[in-house]
Amino acid sequence: MTAQQQVQQRLYGGWRRARSLGLGSLDGRQTLVLVLAIVIPIAAVWASGPGVLLWLGPVAAVVAAAAVTTRDGVWVLDLLLARARFETSKLMGQTVYRGHMWAPYPRRYDLPGPMASTQLIETDVPGRGPVGLVWHQRSGRLSATYLLSPTGVLLADTATVQYQVASWGQVLAGLADDTAIQHAGVTIELMPTSGHELAEHTETRRDPGAPDLVRDVMDQVIEDAPEATTRVYARLTLTVDPSRGVTTVRRLDEGVAETLRSLGGLALTAAGVDVLRPTTATDLVRIVRSAYDPHTLEDTEVPATWDALTWADAGPVAAEEHLDYYAHEGVYSMSWCLLEAPRQHVSHEVLSPLCSPGRYRRRVHLLYRTLSRDEAGRLLEREANSAAAREVYRQRTGRDPSARDRADADRAHRAAAEEAQGAGLVEFSIFVTVTVDRLDQLPEARREVEQAAAQSRLKLRLCRGGQAAAWQTALGVAGIYPADI
pLDDT digits over 16-41, tens only?
Answer: 787 777 776 777 788 888 888 888 88
Domain count for the chain, please give it.
1
Q: Which residue ranges of the chain lie beneath pLDDT 70?
A: 1-8, 24, 100-109, 152-155, 194-201, 224-228, 245-250, 265, 298-304, 393, 405, 422
Give the per-residue pLDDT at 4: 46
Evaluate whether residue 43 is within a structural domain. Answer: no
Q: Does residue 67 form part of some domain?
A: no
Residues pairing with 436 in the sheet: 332
The pLDDT tens digits for 366-377 are 999 888 777 777
Evaluate whether residue 323 is within a structural domain.
Answer: yes
- Domain membership of residue 406 (yes or no) is no
Cβ atoms within 10 Å of 331's Cβ, excluding its own: 20
pTM across the whole model: 0.85
> Is residue 65 in some structural domain?
no
pLDDT of residue 250: 64
Q: Is residue 46 part of a domain?
A: no
- Dihedral angle, C-alpha 300, 301, 307, 311, nearest 10 °: -90
What CA–CA distance (Å, rounded) separates 144 from 260?
8
444 lies in which domain range? 99-371+424-484
Taking CA 160 as the corner, what is the angle to CA 154 and CA 163, rounded to the nearest 5 degrees? 125
Q: Is residue 381 part of a domain?
A: no
Please report whether residue 40 resides in a domain: no
pLDDT at 5: 46
Report the b/e string of 357-385 with b at 16+ CB within 10 A.
ebebbbbbbbbbbbbeeeebeebbebbbe
Q: What is the pLDDT of residue 109?
A: 56
Say what the pLDDT of residue 166 is.
Answer: 86
State the angle between helix axes of 467-475 and 281-292 in degrees (0 to 180), rounded to the nearest 10.
140
Question: What single-letter amino acid sits at 339?
Answer: L
Picking from 338, 337, 336, 340, the residue whose alpha carbon sits closest to that of residue 408 is 340
